Amino acid sequence: MNLAADVIEREGITGEQRAIDKNLAVARRVRQTMIDEKATMPEALPLEVPIKVVEKRVAAEKRKQLPGA
């Protein structure tokens, strides 16, 4: 996303459809580079733990560390 935003700004692209088209073109190039370099594609990465679960775990750890807990 950042790369596409930089390209859009650098090239002075205006208009929603032109920006969408450029974003798609940049995304295709990035994905093709990942394929060429045999990188792990985002859809093949394992799912992360939901943030709510992490927040509960952190809160529980903090409670354990309190004096008298």
Banded pLDDT at 66 (limits 50, 70, 90): confident
Number of domains observed in the structure of the chain: 1
- pLDDT score at 68: 65
Distance CA 14, CA 16 (A): 7
Reported as half-sphere exposure (CB side, CA atoms, 13 A), residue 8 has a value of: 19
Give the containing element (helix H, strand E) for 55: helix 51-65
Residue 69 confidence (pLDDT): 53
pLDDT, tens digit, 9 for 90 and up, residues 11-56: 999 999 999 999 999 999 999 999 999 999 999 999 999 999 999 9
Token reading at 35: 């394929």
Domain that holds residue 22: 2-65
Q: What is the structure's pLDDT at 8?
A: 97
Q: How far apart are CA 31 and CA 35, in angstroms?
A: 6
Beta-carbon contacts of 41 under 8 Å, excluding residues fewer than 6 positions away, are 31, 34, 35
